[in-house]
Structure 1
């Protein structure tokens, strides 16, 4: 499955919508995504599993890039 992770670069700061970034991670479960990203020291706001239609929509974006973690 592909997960969309919304996060803040700085783990110690309060989330600010304008600085929220997204990355896409392949994993079996949300717990696995969190485990893979633990070393990055980021503030994860939300993890969303993408169904086929949503994934197709996200792939149209020039910013879509599947992370290797």
Structure 2
């Protein structure tokens, strides 16, 4: 399953919508996504599972990137 991760690069600042970035992680569950991101210095705002037409739409974006771990 694919998950879209919304995050802030600076974990010490409060989330600001204009600074929110995203990337995608392939995992079996949200817990597994969090485990994969455990050592990163980011502030995770939200993890959203995506599939079907939503995933196909996201793949068309020029900013689409899947985290490899």
Q: Identify whether the pair has TM-score above 0.5, normalized to the shorter chain.
A: yes
Query: What is the root-mean-square deviation of aligned Cα atoms in Å?
Result: 0.6
Could you tell me how far apart the structure 1 residues matched to 2:55 and 2:62 are? 13
Describe the SS at the equivalent of 1:3.
Answer: strand
TM-score of the two chains, using structure 2 as the length reference: 0.96
Could you tell me how far apart the structure 2 residues matched to 1:25 and 1:8 are? 16
Uncovered stretches (5+) of structure 2, i.e. residues with no partner: none
Runs of 4 or more, structure 1, over 2 Å off, are none
TM-score of the two chains, using structure 1 as the length reference: 0.96
Uncovered stretches (5+) of structure 1, i.e. residues with no partner: none
Which structure 2 residues correspond to residues 40-51 of structure 1 after superposition, within 5 A?
Answer: 40-51=40-51
